């Protein structure tokens, strides 16, 4: 009698998926680092702009959130790649969706607060 679960994901396939996720994580990290460097150079090239300080704070926070969200996504992908069956996969995906909805909500609130604070502190020349 065959005791194999027809919904079980083969070990070789899980290993291949784990390697692919790690390669994608490394590539994305390199891309994000280059984007942060380019963005910093662009912001630094704006002379005497009063909005630069507040904009830099919002930009830095948004980049931190981007990195956190990407890390969460890659962690979830790594867990999915290691999932032994469809039930594990669905549990991982459900947990991830709940965590990210909470994170996105908190991040949106924080960015909104930062932007409001910066708008209050901004006095245009005139």
Please give the average per-residue pLDDT across 32-50, as a whole number: 74
Rounded CA separation 90/49 (Å) = 49
Please give the average per-residue pLDDT across 94-99, as a whole number: 96
pTM for this structure?
Answer: 0.74
DSSP state, residue 8: B
Residue 40 has pLDDT above 80, yes or no: no
pLDDT value, residue 38: 84
- Tell me which of 85 and 2 has the higher pLDDT: 85
Q: What is the CA radius of gyration of the chain?
A: 21
- Report the mean per-residue pLDDT for the chain: 85
pLDDT value, residue 1: 43
């Amino acid at each position: 009698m065959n005791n194999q679960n027809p919904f079980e994901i083969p070990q070789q396939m899980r290993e291949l998926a784990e390697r692919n996720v790690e390669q994608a994580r490394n590539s994305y990290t390199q891309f994000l680092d280059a984007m942060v460097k380019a963005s910093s150079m662009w912001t630094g090239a704006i002379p005497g702009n009063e909005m630069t300080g507040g904009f830099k704070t919002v930009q830095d926070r948004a980049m931190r959130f981007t990195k956190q969200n990407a890390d969460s996504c890659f962690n979830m992908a790594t867990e999915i790649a290691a999932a032994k069956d469809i039930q594990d996969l669905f549990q991982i995906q459900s947990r991830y969706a709940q965590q990210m909805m909470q994170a996105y909500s908190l991040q949106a609130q924080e960015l909104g607060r930062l932007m409001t604070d910066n708008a209050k502190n901004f006095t245009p020349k005139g």
